[in-house]
Amino acid sequence: MKTLILMRHAKSDWGSDELTDIERPLNDRGRRASSLIGKYLFDQNLVPDLILVSAAVRTRETVHLMTDEWSVGDPATPRIVPLDDLYLAQPAALLTELRKVDEKAASVMIVAHNPGIADLARQIAMHGDRDLHAEICLKYPTGALTFCKLKSGDWSRAKAKALDSYSFIRPKDLVENSRN
């Protein structure tokens, strides 16, 4: 069964008026969260085969810091594909890019922006567990991850109704768990 991980980029820096939105980097909190998320994915054996990432600086930096937590040069290191079309993309555009994925990829991560990434997570969760849907609808913070399974075998047929969400993780959940 194929797995989709939806992720909103980590917390970005609003400190410079000279930068355009697409040029904004992560702030310190975002950098820490990205590393923590990367460690979590690695420790849970959830490193995806392929990462589709928006071309924005903050999304690419999120992915870079996550992948720094994984074994560099390891054959299991995912392919990373930056896509201009994921910048501020709505759910339909996110699904369009997912449907283009090579079927050999068993797991795919999309790292993009709100409101599109959260809206897609909500659309997927709407068809499953009510509590999970309510949690995703409450707030989709920076660095949040939604884990989904594709019901049919082909990425080419991916749509919200063809996916089941099964987990929602926020960076603060990982911080709280690391203290215990």
**Half-sphere exposure (Cβ direction) of 116: Cα atoms closer than 13 Å:** 18
Q: Which domain holds residue 25?
A: 3-179
Q: What is the pLDDT of residue 132?
A: 92
pTM: 0.94
Domain with 50 in it: what CATH number? 3.40.50.1240
Dihedral, CA of residue 154, residue 139, residue 91 and residue 41, to nearest 10 = -40
Extract the residue ranges of the chain whose pLDDT is less than 50: none
Q: Hey, what's the torsion of the CAs at 131, 30, 76, 104, to 10 degrees?
A: 50
pLDDT of amino acid 18: 86
How many structural domains are present in the chain? 1
DSSP 29: H
- On the CB side of 47, CA atoms within 13 Å amount to 20
Position 176 scores a pLDDT of 72
**What pLDDT does residue 114 have?**
96
Distance of CA 80 to the CA centre of its chain: 12
Amino acid identity of residue 112, one-letter, is: A
Say what the pLDDT of residue 35 is: 94
Sign of CA dihedral 60, 65, 68, 74: negative
